[in-house]
Structure 1
Amino acid sequence: MIELRNVGKRYGNGPASHEALRNINISIHDGEVFGVLGSSGAGKSTLVRCINLLERPTSGQVLINGVDVTNTHGKELAQLRSHIGMIFQNFSLFQQRTAIENVQFPLEVAHMPRKERVQRAEHLLELVGLQGLEQRYPAQLSGGQQQRVAIARALATDPTIMLCDEATSALDSTSTAQVLDLLQHINRTTGVTMVVITHSLQVARALCDRVAVIDGGSIVEQGPTEALFAHPTSETLRTLLDHEHMRKDYTATPSAKASESTKQSANNLGETR
C-alpha cells in the first residue's frame, strides 16, 4: 500500500515561495489502478514524484507497505526506486540506443548478467507487442511504439508500483486506446499497483479503479471512478465534466470495450464488401 499523509511541497522561501501541494492524504491499495486527475498546474506531477522521492515533501509522510520512506537516502533510496517503474509523457528513451537496449538499461544498472537481461528485454518487448522491432531506434518507431518501449523498460526490474505521468498525452486516439488496453492487461496479469496522472476524464474512466481530483495543490474529492463522475461534489470536477460535454469533437472513451467495438465495426464492414 502507498500512503501519503498530510504531504506538502513548497518551492522556495519567503514571499516568492510557491506551495505546490497542501495536506495531501491518499491511500492506494496493492494491485489498484489509482488516478490523480486535474488540469495543468494543479500539482499532479509533483504529487506522483513525491511517491518515488524525485521530489522531497516539505512536510508530511510517504509510506510504502507501512514503512515511512520520506527521508530515505543512498542505497536504501536506490533499493526503493528499483521497485517503482515510471512512464513519462515524452517517453524519455535514449535516442542512441535501440528498443532492446533501452529496455535493458535498468538491468545494466542492476548488474544483471548480459544473457539474462537480453532474455528479459526480449520477453518484455514481446509482452508489449513489439516482437520483431527490437533493433529499431526510437526515431524509427511511432509515438505509440515508443511508449510501449518505455512501458517495457518500466517493467524491466519487475516493479510492484508503476507511476504513469500523462503516459498517453502525446499520443493519437488510436495509440491512446492501445496503450490503455496494454496498461490494463499488465495490471490484471501482474498485479502491479498503478498510479495514473492524467488531465483526461476519458483516460480515468477507461483505466482507474479510484480517482483523486486535485486543484491548486489540494485534493478536492476522491472515490470510486464511476461513482465520483456520476455524482461530483467539487466545483473542479463538475467543471471538467461540463467541458467534456461541450467538446465538439467529443468521442467515445478509449477503453478496451471501445477497441473491441472498433474491431467489430471493421469486421462488419469487411463482410459487406
Structure 2
Amino acid sequence: MEHIVNRHGLNMPKLGLGTWPMVGEDCTRAVLQALELGYRHIDTAAGYQNEDAVGAALAATSVPREQIHVTTKVWWDQLEPQALRASFERSLRDLRSEYVDLFLIHWPTPDMNLRRTLDVLVDLKERGLARAIGVANFPLPLLREAVETIGAPLAAVQVEYHVTLGQSTLLDFVRQHEMALTAYSPLARNRVSEIPEIVAIARKHGVLPTQIALAWLLEQQGVAAVPKAAGKSNQLSNLASLDVHLDKDDLATIAALPKNERLVSPAFAPQWDEAA
C-alpha cells in the first residue's frame, strides 16, 4: 500500500479505516477484519468513544503494532494543557499502546490558547508518545497561524474532502509545508453513489462509484482517505480503489462537479473558508 512520508516524521498509508460511529464489539470486529485484509491505518478519536474497542483489536491482532498507523484526536473541550495531557493518557490507555502514530486536535475553539495547546502536542512528539502531530477541521487562517506564526511541526490536517467539497487552497498550503491532508467523509456519506457523473465513470471502468470517489482522492499528492467500512465487502471494495486509475476525461468531469457541498458542520465548527 502506498504511504505518505514527510519531513515531520509521518509515515501514513494513504488508505485508512475510519471508525466513527462504530463502538464496542462491532468496532473491534471491524478493525480486526480490516487488519486481516491488509489495512494498516486506523483512524479513531476520543470523541468517537471507541478507542477502547480499537485497542481491543490492536491487542488481539497478529499484526505487530509497529506495522499499524493509528491516528487519534483530542476533543475540543479538552484543549487546556492539563486536560489535554489527561485526555492523551486516557487515549493511550484505551488503545493499549505506548504511543500513537498521529495525534490531532479534533476541532478548534474560539477561546483556545492555540500556542499553549500546540506546545503540549510538541512536547508529546518530542517525548516519542506521538510520532507525529497535526490538527483537524482547521480553516486555512488558523492552520497558517499554527504553522507559520507559531511554527508547530504539524505533519497533517484532517478535513472533510470529497468530489463535491473542494479543498484546493488548503491543499496548496499543506503541499507548500510538506504536510499531508487526510480526507474524512471521502464518500460524502455515500452520496457519491447517487451522482450521475460518478456513476457513469464507474460504469466505464467497471467498478463502483465509491471506488471512483476514493481513487480520485488517493491519486492526489499528499492526500489520504479514511472511509468508514464495517462489512468485509465494503472494506475490500475500498482497498481495491487503490488499483483504479482515472484518465483526463474522468478528472475533468469530476472537476466540473459542485465543490461546496459541506456535510459536516456542527454548532461548534469554526468559520469555514469556502473559497476552495
Q: What range is the shorter-chain TM-score in?
A: 0.3 to 0.5
In the superposition, the TM-score normalised over structure 1's length comes to 0.33
More strand by share: 1
RCO greater where, 1 or 2, for CA within 8 Å and sep 6 or more?
Answer: 1
Q: Flag the structure with larger Rg.
A: 1
